[in-house]
């Protein structure tokens, strides 16, 4: 029987990272949203919007999809960085130095012809200019007395992301390395960003409706599979794609497993709400159960060579039994 541990471990790691960071960002995120929360109606509308977007995405030109997603990802990076850009000056310097090193390295790599061949000169020039901007910011921040939010620090992550995508998306540097790195980053950020808007009741409704929607779009209409195929060539970090461990070879081809950011958000949201309602230990146990359930389903997919299966079902099958057991146990204790 074929099996894989790489994707389940990645799912587990992303959820744990989001749970660990949640306590650090929850306070500020509440201030940003002014203590607003999703109501039941909002959860239903969100699922409906996702369903419509997935169903219609195959009719949207790829260039428009790329523009929309690059803008969305860049905005997410800017907002998160800006919210937390009031850190101490020492950390700000380290932040600038890290981006200076990365941008200068990317510029050097471009000169050696590892960027997209037709864009080598533009790539090197863009990254050298970005390095210069980062160096100027570093010098400016040394003499800056205020430690409030800094817009110029918030500009760096989205700018670097766009440059890397534009100049390296057609190279082995982008896939699978940078693509998966950014996929993991965005998965964690989406969990933290939207997770602060949900509460237990709305989460249960959202999870139930999203699972039903996923089953319909994957197994009934096939719209989810068509959408994934339509945008796969854009190399956008909408999926995390990892080589199977141990290697699984089918018909002479090494198999890579992919999981969408929506599934990571689905698992992360349930784990965060479990953490807030039942505590850390039970939340970690539920994360283990979700990862184990996903691993079992994945083994069947690999063994019987099934093309696609709803990731939400693979995840919720590990989470739901634990929640039901917890509720039954609580009812017995209180009766």
Q: Is the dihedral of CA 111, 133, 78, 276 positive or negative?
A: positive
291 in a structural domain? yes
116 in a structural domain? no
99 in a structural domain? no
Closest CA to 211 of 81, 85, 320, 58: 320
C-alpha separations of 32 from 35, 188, 243, 274, 278 in Å:
8, 18, 38, 23, 26
256 in a structural domain? yes
102 in a structural domain? no
- The tens digit of pLDDT for each residue in 37-52 reads 888 999 999 999 999 9
Residue 120 has pLDDT above 80, yes or no: no
327 in a structural domain? yes
Number of domains comprising the chain? 1
150 in a structural domain? no
- The tens digit of pLDDT for each residue in 235-256 reads 999 999 999 999 988 888 899 9
Query: What pLDDT score does 147 carry?
Result: 63
Mean pLDDT for the chain overall: 89
Give the structural domain span for 270.
6-63+174-334
86 in a structural domain? no
What's the maximum distance between 2 C-alpha atoms anywhere in the chain?
Answer: 73
d(CA 117, CA 130): 20
């Amino acid at each position: 029987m074929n099996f894989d541990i790489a994707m389940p471990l990645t799912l587990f790691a992303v959820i744990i990272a989001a749970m660990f960071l949640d306590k650090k960002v929850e306070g500020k995120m509440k201030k940003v949203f002014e203590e607003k929360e999703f109501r039941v109606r909002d959860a239903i509308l969100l699922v409906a919007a996702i369903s419509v977007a997935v169903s219609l995405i195959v009719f949207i030109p790829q260039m428009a999809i790329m523009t929309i997603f690059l803008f969305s990802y860049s905005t997410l990076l800017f907002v998160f960085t800006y919210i937390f850009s009031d850190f101490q000056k020492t950390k700000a310097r380290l932040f600038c130095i890290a981006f200076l090193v990365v941008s200068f390295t990317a510029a050097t790599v471009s000169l050696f012809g590892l960027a997209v061949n037709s864009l080598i000169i533009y790539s090197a020039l863009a990254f050298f200019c970005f390095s210069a901007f980062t160096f100027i910011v570093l010098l400016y921040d040394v003499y800056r007395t205020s430690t409030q939010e800094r817009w110029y620090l918030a500009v760096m992550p989205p700018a670097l992301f766009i440059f890397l995508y534009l100049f390296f998306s057609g190279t082995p540097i982008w896939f699978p390395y940078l693509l998966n790195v950014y996929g993991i980053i965005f998965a964690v950020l989406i969990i933290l960003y939207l997770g602060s808007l949900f509460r237990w009741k709305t989460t249960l409704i959202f999870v139930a409706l999203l699972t039903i929607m996923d089953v319909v779009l994957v197994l009934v209409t096939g719209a989810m599979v068509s959408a994934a195929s339509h945008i796969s060539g854009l190399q956008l970090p909408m999926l995390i794609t990892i080589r199977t461990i141990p290697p699984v070879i089918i018909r002479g081809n090494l198999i890579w497993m992919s999981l969408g950011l929506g599934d990571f958000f689905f698992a992360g949201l349930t784990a965060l709400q479990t953490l807030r309602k039942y505590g850390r230990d039970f939340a970690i146990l539920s994360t283990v159960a979700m990862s184990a359930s996903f691993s079992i389903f994945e083994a069947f997919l690999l063994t019987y060579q099934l093309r696609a299966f709803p990731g939400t079902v693979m995840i919720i099958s590990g989470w739901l039994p634990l929640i039901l057991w917890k509720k039954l146990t609580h009812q017995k204790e209180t009766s």
